[in-house]
Amino acid sequence: MLNYLFRRLNLLFITAFILSVIAFILTYWSSKNTLADADAGYIIQYVKYMSAILQGEWGLSSIDQQPMLIKGLTAFASTLELCFIAFITANIIAIPLGIFAGLNRNSLLDYLIMTIALIGLALPVFWLAVITTMLPRLLGIPLPIDGGISPVFEIPVVSGFILLDTLLAADTYQLDAFFNRLAHLILPSSVLSLFLITEIIRLTRHSITMVMKSNYVKAAYAKGLSRKEIVFRHVLKNALPPIIHQLRLQLSTIISFAMVIEIVFSLQGSGVWLLSSIKEGDYLALPTAILIISGFILLSSIFIDILLMIISPIKRKSLYVD
Amino acid sequence: MRFLFAFTITLLLSGCYKNESTLTDSLIYCPENTPQSFNPQISHDISTLDATTHQLYNRLVKIDPITKQFIPDLATHWQQNDNKSSYTFFLRKDVNFHQTDYFTPTRFFNADDVIFSFQRMLDKDHPFHSVNRVTDSYFFNHPFTNLVADIIKIDDYTVKFILNKADVTLLANLAAHYGVIHSEQYAQNLLSKGHPERIDFYPIGTGPYKFKNYEIKGITRYLSHPQYWGGRPTITNLIFDVTPNNTKRYAKLLSGECDIMTYPAPSQLNTMSVNPSVVLSSIPTANVALWSFNSVKKPFKQKEIRQALSYAIDQKTIVNAVFFKSATATDTLLAKQSWAYNPRSAELQYTPQLALQMLKENGFDFNNIITILTPIDHSVFNPNSHKTAELIQANLFDIGVSSEIISLPHSELEMRLASGNYDTYLTGIDVHIKDPDSLFRPLLSCDATILEGNSSQWCSPEVQDLLDSTLLEPNFIKRIKNYYQLQDIVQQERPYYPIAHVLRFDAFNQNISGLHVNALTGIDFQNVRKIEAQ
């Protein structure tokens, strides 16, 4: 177990080192005129930079003199919130659809579901987001299309996850602010979840098909189990790990799509933050965003690995390989 | 099925969501840009004026929107001496300054506040004179430096303005946006805390709304001023929610996320005007969209080249294609409603043959590629600078002149302008008071820098002399004559090609009433009422 963790962490350190070098180069390039000891060697400066980063001193924003780290984390929390909502929605919708398609492979239902999934795959997210901003007006649904929460509500930033913060501020606004935030998230997360739905349907369908072909399922049929029992007892459990594994690879795509969608919907988050910082010439936001976002992706991919190891016996084998 | 189910559930959840249009004590105004500061004495852009002049402050006098007469604001009445060289103002009593979480006033408004507000601009040794580098802008103290010699406190509620010489523009200047009154007590308070720079960003005034907070993403919140001398406004929460994209502003107006929006896209005006739920208001302004020729750079040093290019431009098509009905095509820099407008100004004629002939006669190098510099974002002067530039490019191409469009974001544009490395520049100018000087001086004075408006880098002793002498000319007929002469010179020399005088448009929902917009000093929310939308 320790051996395995050590191997994973090893990979983490190498990747983190490369990322920190990129971040350092960006920082150096954006603020070389303001560095105190610009004459010192690159290595000394890098060491100093890293020690400052590790102590949490990520520099100040040139726009409002606020600490970069806090700004970056707050913005990223909002992006994560969007991703999370979209992820939940997508799972609720896509996993059942994928299972149906996988179980009834090459049936009319399968073709129908896969057609929808392919259409979803073919639509560019940016275009879809722009079209979605027109939907409320066309359909007459009173949904907001701009911003993260109505400016009527002043929500103090506690966790950065605005849904949580609105609940914490429930003394002032009851649940109005919470529902307002939720309403603001519906359209952006629908767009983001469409991409995820497509992805999850395809993965689930494939995974279910594979499992259904396997010998133990055939054996289960031979044992006389009903189809329902087979699906719930054997198929689902074994189909899940490959899906999680594949979704891990999509994590960075999801986050970058979320950032694009944020910009279309003016939803405060890392996409909007990064864009406006660059527009205002606050280039320190670039390395900050690289470190935060890639750091998150690295950590979560390791976390998912460990999770897979716990739930999947096949993966667990890798524990004992030296 | 499940998808539909999930979607219906979320839609039901959104039923708990209350639209902003149901909150009658909160008003959301969606402007196009963030204000540069919260002091109209130092920032003259329209976003700052909208966010400050009428909301946070009062002036000594103001202009009645209907009769155009000067009416009392913080001064109840005033007297001028016989030769109009001094004015005495009698101040309103029991006027409260804002009480906020950063300042609590302990006295009423009095003469000290008036003196502080103007001495900051006039007195070079004043502790606030150069705070926030306001003196970098030529326009900071310009309107008053030549005008006012001194301001004397006669008693707590009487002040006397002594002028350098007889001048009729004092009242107009006091009614302009930079005539706002700040709190002297607050300034002293800031000075003792060592943070004088906060005066322009954490404002204290006497206006109907007080400043609450400003968020970096472009949200400004105001609260109504409960002790406002003119009666407490019916709106408690006034919120400015900056939305740069004009399509989105309109969508937000329709969805009730905005109650009032400013500057709709010209292309939307037709659909807006037929929408029964939206009210569209328009007022003419003296703001003009221009194409300026860099008169210190070859080949635009030559008057004939500048003239030739102005014959080559099809102004009518540009105005129809870019501005739609949001502007009126113009031949002159000065708007027709100005008293100094010269009705016999030469007209701009679209005659490409003549242009070609003039270019050939004056040895224009047709291999030369001229640059057309434009801002990348749309501005208040021009809803689509790039499209305008493309139309100009096509017109130039027709007479064999090749050109290159350079669209730059704001910060890079300023750098490029300051370097002087451009041939032509698509821009505009906004005018602060009705006096023609406020239009001509930034464009034509040798003292005005490129960033202040003189993008043609125009400097001629004759024009400078006319500008300076007219400003101090007591005889009104003579002033008009001088401005006629100035306009003739400008038409001849053609440092600028005027494209159109823009209108200011604001749109608001049916449940809003009492909105007043002033073309010069900005939007006024004091008497706005909001009823629940149907």
> Could you state, in order of their start, the residue ranges of all structural domains in chain A?
1-57+284-322, 68-281
Tell me which residue in B2, B18, B28 faces A151 most closely, judged by beta carbons.
Answer: B28
Question: Would strands B158-163 and B148-155 be described as parallel, antiparallel, or unpaired?
Answer: antiparallel
CATH class of this structure's domain A68-281: mainly alpha
Amino acid at B81: N
Which letter does DSSP use for residue A312 in this model? -
Say whether A93 and B2 touch across the interface (CB within 8 A): yes
Q: What is the 3-state secondary structure (H, E, C) of B221-236?
A: EEEECCCCCCCCCCCC
Sign of the torsion formed by the C-alpha atoms of B208, B50, B39 and B176: negative
- How many Cα atoms sit within 13 Å of B500 on the Cβ side? 28
Closest Cα in chain B, distance from residue A179 (Å)? 5
Q: Which of A64, A93, A176 sits opposite B216 (nearest CB)?
A: A64
Q: Which of residues 63-82 of A touch B (CB under 8 A)?
A: 63-64
SS3 B504: strand
Q: Which residues of chain A have pLDDT under 50?
A: none
What does DSSP say about strands B260-262 and B424-429: parallel, antiparallel, or unpaired?
Answer: unpaired
pLDDT of residue B105: 92
Cβ separation of B248 and A180 shorter than 8 Å? no
pLDDT of residue A34: 54
- Suggest the residue from B7, B10, B33, B260 to mutate for an interface test with chain A (most A CBs closer than 10 A): B10
Instruction: Quote helix, strand, coil % in chain B, to nearest 5.
Output: 35, 25, 45
Task: State the Cα angle at A120 between A115 and A121, rounded to 5°.
Answer: 95
Distance CA B65, CA B342 (A): 25
Strands, E assignment, B185-266? 209-215, 219-224, 237-241, 260-262
Q: How many Cβ pairs closer than 8 A exist between chain A and B?
A: 87
Of B70-79, B139-148, B525-534, give the lowest mean pLDDT range.
B139-148
B64, B71 contact by CB (below 8 A): yes
Q: What is the mean pLDDT of residues B308-319?
A: 91
Tokens of A197: 């739905």
Under a CB-based contact definition with an 8 Å cutoff, are residues B281 and B424 in contact?
no
Q: How far B3 CA sits from the closest chain A CA (Å)?
A: 6
**B59: closest CA among B237, B179, B232?**
B179
Structure tokens at A265: 């919907």
Residue found by looking up tokens 């242009």 in the block? B355
Do the Cβ atoms of A166 and A177 come closer than 8 Å?
Answer: yes
Tokens of A57: 């001193």
Q: Enumerate the H helices of B323-436 as residue ranges.
A: 352-361, 385-398, 410-419
The residues that bridge with B278 in the sheet, in sequence order, are B509
Cβ <8 Å between A152 and B257: no
CB atoms within 10 A of CB A111: 13
* Dihedral angle computed from the Cα positions of residues A98, A100, A102 and A105, in that order, rounded to the nearest 10 degrees: -130
Instruction: List the end-to-end C-alpha distance of chain B, in Å, as a whole number.
Output: 34
Whole-number Å distance between alpha carbons of A162 and B131: 38
Q: Please provide the average confidence, as pLDDT, over all residues in chain B.
A: 86
Where residue B241 falls (left for φ over 0; alpha for ψ -120 to 50; beta otherwise) is beta
**Pair A124, B234: CB distance under 8 Å:** no
Please tell me which of the candidates A89, A137, A180 has its beta carbon nearest to residue B254. Answer: A137
Collect all residues of chain B within an 8 Å Cβ-Cβ radius of residue A154.
213, 221
Rg value, chain B, Cα: 25
Both tokens of residue B511? 């449940």
What residues of chain A, 202 to 261, have a C-beta less than 8 Å from chain B?
none
Q: Would you state the structure tokens that stand for residue A34, as one six-digit string?
A: 């303001």
What residues have CB less than 8 Å from A54, skipping those under 6 apart?
A: none
Q: Which amino acid is at A90?
A: A
Whole-number Cα distances in Å, B417 to B125, B305, B452: 32, 21, 11
DSSP one-letter string for B381-402: S-TTHHHHHHHHHHHHHHTT--
- Compute the Cα dihedral for B292, B295, B297, B300 and give only its sign: positive
Of B216, B241, B411, the CB nearest to A151: B241
B76-117 confidence digits (pLDDT tens): 999 888 777 889 999 999 999 999 999 999 999 999 999 999
Check residue B254 and give its pLDDT. Answer: 86
Percent residues over pLDDT 70 in chain B? 94
Name the pLDDT band for B14 (thresholds 50, 70, 90): low
CA distance A103 to A106: 9
Tens-place pLDDT, residues B330-371: 888 888 888 888 888 778 888 999 999 999 998 888 888 999
Partners of residue A134 in chain B, C-beta under 8 Å: 251
Q: How many CA atoms lie within 13 A of B208 on its CB side?
A: 20
Q: Which residues of A fall within a CB distance of 8 Å from B245?
A: 266
Q: What does each C-alpha distance from A34 to A21, A45, A46, A277, B52 come to in angstroms?
A: 19, 13, 15, 18, 35
Q: Do A89 and B6 touch (CB under 8 A)?
A: yes
- Which two structure tokens, joined as six digits, stand for B30? 């969606």
- Name every chain B residue with its beta carbon within 8 A of the beta carbon of A144: 17, 255, 257
Tell me whether residues A137 and B251 touch, CB distance under 8 A: yes
Chain A nearest-CA distance from B106, in A, is 29
Handedness of CA A104, A106, A108, A111 (dihedral sign): positive
User: Whole-angstrom Cα distance, residue B507 to residue B250?
Assistant: 9
Contact B239 A186 (CB under 8 A): no
User: What is the rounded distance in angstroms from the CA atom of residue A261 to the CA atom of residue B218?
Assistant: 19
How many C-beta neighbours within 10 Å does residue A252 have? 14
The pLDDT, as a whole number, for residue A261 is 92
Contact B40, B178 (CB under 8 A): yes
Which of B9, B216, B413 is the best mutation test for A, with the most CBs of A within 10 A?
A: B216
Q: Model pTM?
A: 0.81
At residue B262, the 3 state secondary structure works out as strand
Contact flag B28-A143 (C-beta cutoff 8 Å): no
Q: B17 vs A137: CB contact, 8 Å cut-off?
A: no
**Is-cis flag, bond preceding B299, omega within 30?**
yes
Going by pLDDT thresholds of 50, 70 and 90, the confidence category of residue B13 is low
Tell me the HSE value of A194 on the side-chain side, using a 13 A CA sphere. Answer: 22
Burial class (CB in 10 A: 0-12, 13-18, 19+), A34: exposed
How far, in Å, CA of B507 to CA of B355, rounded? Answer: 41
Written as one letter, the residue type at A276 is S
CB contact under 8 A, B239 and A151: yes
Chain A contact set for B26 (CB, 8 A): 152
Inspect the interface and report whether the beta carbons of B23 and A182 lie closer than 8 Å: no
Q: Read off the pLDDT band of B240 (50, 70, 90).
A: very high
Ordered strands of the B148-155 beta sheet: B75-80, B86-91, B158-163, B148-155
Residue in the structure block whose two tokens are 């919130």:
A81
CA distance B60 to A107: 81
Which among A96, A154, A182 has the least Cβ separation from residue B2?
A: A96
- Per-residue pLDDT, averaged over B415-439, amounts to 86
The one-character DSSP state at A321 is: -
For residue B5, the model assigns a pLDDT of 61
pLDDT for the residue A257: 92
**Token pair in block for residue A121:** 């795959």
Contacts of B14 in chain A (CB under 8 A): 141-143, 179, 182-183, 186
Tally the residues of chain B.
Answer: 534
> Distance between CA atoms of B325 and B280, rounded to whole angstroms?
13
Range B119-142 average pLDDT = 77
Cβ count near B75 (within 10 Å): 24
Q: What does the alpha-carbon distance between residue A82 and residue A301 come to, in Å, rounded to a whole number? A: 19
- A 133-192 residues with CB < 8 A to B: 133-134, 136-137, 141-147, 150-152, 154, 175-176, 179-180, 182-183, 186, 190
pLDDT band at B209 (very low <50, low <70, confident <90, very high): very high
A110 touches chain B (CB under 8 A): no
For chain A, the first-to-last Cα distance in angstroms comes to 11
Let me know the angle formed at the C-alpha of A161 by B202 and B249, rounded to the nearest 5 degrees: 60
Q: Residue B204 above 90 pLDDT?
A: yes
